[in-house]
Structure 1
Amino acid sequence: MPPKTLRAATYARYSTDLQSNASIEDQQRVCQRLITDRGWMLALAYSDAGISGASLMRPGYQRLLEDARNGKVDVVVSEGLDRISRDQEHIAAFYKQMKYLGIPVVTVAEGEISEIHIGLKGTMSALFIKDLAQKTHRGLEGRARKGKSAGGISYGYSVTRAFNADGTPVTGERDIIPEEAAIVARIFREYDAGHSARAIAVRLNEEGIPSPRSNKGSGTWGPSTISGNWKRGTGILNNELYIGRLIWDRLNYAKNPETQRRQSRLNDVEGLVNEAVPHLQIVDDALWQRVKARQAAIREDMNPAGVKGGNTRPENARRPNYLFSGLLVCGCCGASYTLINKTRYGCAGARNKGEAICTNRATIEREVVEDRVLTGLRDSLLHPELIATFVEDYRRAFNAEAAGADAAREKARRDLGQIDKKIRGILAAIEDGMYQPRMKDRMAELEAEKATLQRSLEQSPEPPALRLHPSLSDLYRSKIRNLSSALQDPGLKMEATEALRGLISEIRMVPASDALNGHRIELAGELAGILSLGDAETTKPALFARAGSETVVAGVGFEPTTFRL
């Protein structure tokens, strides 16, 4: 029988928009050359353009992982290990998954990848990213201290398109856009006159005035666009560039290793770059000061934690007040469903931005939403198919752990056999009169290694055969039936709530006059994918076909799984 031709999958990537698609083509070409030389067959090609190798939010990379798990790939080929990832943790996890699946990783630069490559190249890539970040920050700081743009253009300004005397393009300079500057001045005047940010946003939307994010697909004004966050300097009313002051480096960013999302943190005020740029001033100082005074008065009236006494609890600042706070979205416009009074949810887009943006004025009680979602989850999770999946995943997880333990014991036995062989060799040499003083030290080392391996084998006995208790499925049913009570138990509420919210990306509220409470409710996210296993008309997704599978990143190119409750 002729040997099987390996199905190769190539992966190519470049990091920034300053590079071109030719980079992808060049990488694919050298990978194709390697595949041809090895006698393999190019089966699939994956690529990501303009996405950092430190991020997992890459659609091409995610498709490669998914197809590898589904058995569509026999070998992964790339130009270099740093094309797959520049993050030590991510590249190690990728290699570990491929090794588990029996798929070798081969690069043009390093050849077939081993643990040594993962350690050395992963460290080099991590140092490269750190050094690049430091140099980039240094360069941006230099531009900011010259009064130039260090990234991003505020509403009311445009990039200067001009050339220096030597013919080189002007960089970092901005021009005022008169039409947008007039809107900025209008917002400040109306706010100073007593209008709320919400009322101003509604009028701007009704008049069809493009918002600061129009070129990014949003095209609507909201209260946060105008009032923003005064501490972070966000929002039209807090941008000091409008009074001719360039403030830079307010925030630093760190990636959460669990969610892989960047989180911003405020820098110390003393370290900020603060430069005068009077030629960019749009709002006069007196108007600015009146607006700041009104904002301060409103904050005082709202009495946030710590303003008028009481203990500030930063750790509670972003904790959701209710079970599904922040997860509900309008099925018409995509805006958040928020509490419009003490008991009812409604579309924030319709309320804050006006009917020009969304006409959904339907409302629903908070307790009704929570009851419908939890009841629907309980009934759906009790589907026989899901119970069978639970039992099967338990069995697979147990066997996988046992297989790992068996492999470790087998390796210890092999190493013990090698040590015994070496000891016998030294003893035979001594009997033949070939004794050397260093043999004594070597014998001591071997005996110590032998004792360590023997203790390891004694402390890790053979695992018992897996015997599933007949009431295992009943245990699953009882846990699901007690879902609501677990979410109310003070000892379990926080952990159970966070676990449930972590599996849901959003809950879509679709207004419908013929539906219960005037709404259809659709669940989106991982939990929706799990629930779909119990649907008789749904083929079991490969993602959830075995325990321990990877989480799908809902990034570019992905649509979260939905499930209607």
Structure 2
Amino acid sequence: MTQPLRAVIYARFSTDMQRDASIDDQIRSCREHAKRQGLNVIEVYSDKAISGASLMRSGIQKLLRDAQGNVFDVVSSEALDRLSRNQADIAAIFQKLQFRGIMIETVSEAMISEMHIGLKGTMNSLFIKDLAIKTHRGLKGRALAGKSAGGKAFGYQNVIHYDASGEPIRGDRKIDPIEADVVRRIFTDYAAGLSPRKIAEKLNEGGITGPTGRGWGTSTLHGNRERGTGILNNELYIGRQIWNRLAYVKDPDTGKRVSRLNPEADWVITDVPDLRIIDDALWDAVRARQGAMKVKNSDVPIWDRRRPRTLFSGLMACGCCGGGFSKVNKNSFGCSIARNKGKAYCTNMAMISQVELEELVLKALQDNLMDEDALKVFCEEYAKERNRLQATASQNRSALEKELAKTKADHAKLVDAIIAGVPAEQVKDKMIALDARRIELEAQMERDPAPSPIRLHPKLAETYRDKVATLIRQLQEPDGMLEAKGALRGLIDRIVLQPTKPDGKLAIHLEGALAQLLILSLGSKGNQGPRSKSQAIDNIDELVLVAGRPQPPQST
């Protein structure tokens, strides 16, 4: 008896305005459709209040990962735009599933083909563009009327009125007296000479909640003057609303929104005197102080300055609070949370010089990571497990090979029967079924090639140390510096800096990225390219852990 096709359901709604029940409605509709089609539903994936213009959704990503294991045959959804509204994304989903032999079946469009992908993908993309234009037009009307066109500024409360039919009228605001006092305090302290860091620290010590509902940070206060972000740059506090200063576009690689400054001619500026919190004199005093804060010998304001990345910037973490370590003066690093938010959030005020940190970490990279004894145990256990899994895969492949041979033999027997005089009509259906199965088996064997045993070289640690030493030397060479810097950074997951007692110095705990450590070690001195490296370590890039046996922390 033929087994029913295995189906999974995907459901999504895109805005907080929709009900959670929308997901349940979609799933119920898909289940009913699957039942009519004779499909066996084995799993349900869903994403709530997430735009279909992005693939950065946990539900769809899990579905695509599971598809790689060929655990289902059909993806069922209410409509194609539930999977994605982005034309490129829906085409990519279709191609990935088609490669695995997985069909897409929707309640609205039935079986999805290349024609649906082209036409519906284009229609969905146009729908998104048209929706964005209409939304922007509506928000502009709000802004021209002096109403809120999105978001909630600190210092104000949103007010909702209702029309005669009971429908909500949104966009009105009023001053929040308590938050307005905080805004005045920030402006007054800054005009008096206090730094944003000190102001944030005092607010946090006083238990005053910030705009996000958490603590205050320096960037929340000074923001970016040109872009009008940050408490100190918000002109709403002087009764002047500026809308459409920034445009937001979605990065196709990350799915995240990126802001861009619009031309000033596109800004919508409206006077809203009833929302004024700060008087002109205090506002002008703050602007005058901001205008005086320039980088020495540069026209770049201090709030727009971007320091160059150091060798290990972005990889350092505080052992007390988990926050990042960054430059606190010209030569040293310190905990950003302790300095930006105050001792109420972190008490780690210890510092370490850039030169000392880099020397200690480079030494630890070369000597402490890839400990030979620990590496030997890992190689043995990893190879044993991988070979066990591959033995299972070999057995599965052997079964496929046997079935393929039998399918071809049965097909040949039917051909012989026709030659011997059996009417072709009697064996036609059987021959078609055998030929379809042959094609399916050959495709499956091509997708999953025969595995080979895994062996890791016993001199891996020695090779690793030689290559790290070479990379460190290249840091001094202009031609190879950038490549060496990137390679060395790739070997590290985190550098945790923990104060030690009683001297208060910092202990350095170095956490290595095992995948990159092994990739570097397995690299051939000959012409072996990246392809053979990745084959040699197979799925090892999925592992991330502290490489080597526990080492005494490096203290400064």
TM-score (norm 2): 0.71
CA deviation after TM superposition for structure 1 residue 77, in Å: 1.4
Q: Can you list the C-alpha shifts for 1:75-134, whole angstroms capped at 9, x where unaligned?
A: 221111211111122222222221222222222222222222222222122111111111
Provide the rounded CA distance (Å) in 2 between the counterparts of 1:304 and 1:18.
Answer: 52
Alignment-derived partner of residue 519 in structure 1: 508
Provide the rounded CA distance (Å) in 1 between the counterparts of 2:476 and 2:22.
Answer: 54
**% identity of equivalent residues:** 47
| 1:328 aligns with one of 306, 313, 316 | 316
Query: Could you tell me which amino acid in structure 2 is paired with residue 366 of structure 1?
Result: Q
* Native 8 Å contact 1:521 1:564 kept in 2: no
Change (3 A) 1:26 1:167: closer
CA deviation after TM superposition for structure 1 residue 256, in Å: 2.6
Find the residue that maps to 1:153 and give its secondary structure. Answer: coil
Query: Could you tell me which amino acid in structure 1 is paired with residue 195 of structure 2?
Result: S
CA deviation after TM superposition for structure 1 residue 286, in Å: 1.0
Provide the rounded CA distance (Å) in 2 between the counterparts of 1:516 and 1:337.
Answer: 15
| 2:296 aligns with one of 290, 303, 311 | 303
Find the residue that maps to 2:160 and give its secondary structure. Answer: coil
Aligned pairs (5 A) from 1:440-455: none
Q: Can you list the C-alpha shifts for 1:13-37, whole angstroms capped at 9, x where unaligned?
A: 0110000111111111111122222
Change (3 A) 1:207 1:494: same
Find the residue that maps to 1:44 and give its secondary structure. Answer: strand
Provide the rounded CA distance (Å) in 1 between the counterparts of 2:225 and 2:496.
Answer: 31
* Native 8 Å contact 2:370 2:547 kept in 1: no
| 1:264 aligns with one of 259, 266, 270 | 259
Query: Could you tell me which amino acid in structure 1 is paired with residue 106 of structure 2?
Result: T
Unaligned runs of 5+ in 2: 387-451, 521-533, 549-556
* Native 8 Å contact 1:346 1:362 kept in 2: yes
Find the residue that maps to 1:322 and give its secondary structure. Answer: coil
Alignment-derived partner of residue 285 in structure 2: 290
Query: Could you tell me which amino acid in structure 2 is paired with residue 224 of structure 1?
Result: S
Query: Could you tell me which amino acid in structure 1 is paired with residue 29 of structure 2?
Result: V
Change (3 A) 1:95 1:244: same
* Native 8 Å contact 1:232 1:266 kept in 2: yes
Change (3 A) 1:374 1:228: same
1:273 and 2:268 aligned = yes
Alignment-derived partner of residue 335 in structure 2: 347
Alignment-derived partner of residue 152 in structure 2: 153
| 1:338 aligns with one of 303, 326, 329 | 326
Provide the rounded CA distance (Å) in 2 between the counterparts of 1:84 and 1:269.
Answer: 38
Alignment-derived partner of residue 57 in structure 2: 58
Change (3 A) 1:319 1:189: closer
CA deviation after TM superposition for structure 1 residue 71, in Å: 3.6
Change (3 A) 1:334 1:516: closer
Q: CA RMSD in A?
A: 4.0
Change (3 A) 1:507 1:296: same
Alignment-derived partner of residue 24 in structure 2: 25
Change (3 A) 1:120 1:167: closer
Alignment-derived partner of residue 403 in structure 1: none
Provide the rounded CA distance (Å) in 2 between the counterparts of 1:145 and 1:503.
Answer: 53
* Native 8 Å contact 2:491 2:517 kept in 1: no
Provide the rounded CA distance (Å) in 2 between the counterparts of 1:530 and 1:7.
Answer: 38
1:187 and 2:182 aligned = no
Query: Could you tell me which amino acid in structure 2 is paired with residue 351 of structure 1?
Result: R
How many residue pairs align between the two structures? 455
Provide the rounded CA distance (Å) in 1 between the counterparts of 2:79 and 2:491.
Answer: 34
1:361 and 2:361 aligned = no
| 2:237 aligns with one of 237, 242, 249 | 242
Alignment-derived partner of residue 133 in structure 1: 132
TM-score (norm 1): 0.70
Aligned pairs (5 A) from 1:358-437: 358-367=346-355, 369-370=357-358, 379-380=369-370
* Native 8 Å contact 1:512 1:519 kept in 2: no
Find the residue that maps to 1:57 and give its secondary structure. Answer: coil
Provide the rounded CA distance (Å) in 2 between the counterparts of 1:56 and 1:298.
Answer: 42
CA deviation after TM superposition for structure 1 residue 487, in Å: 5.5
Provide the rounded CA distance (Å) in 1 between the counterparts of 2:518 and 2:122.
Answer: 41
* Native 8 Å contact 2:20 2:48 kept in 1: yes
Find the residue that maps to 2:478 and give its secondary structure. Answer: coil
CA deviation after TM superposition for structure 1 residue 516, in Å: 10
* Native 8 Å contact 2:143 2:243 kept in 1: yes
Higher relative contact order (CA 8 A, sep 6+): 1
* Native 8 Å contact 2:11 2:78 kept in 1: yes
1:95 and 2:85 aligned = no
* Native 8 Å contact 1:248 1:272 kept in 2: yes
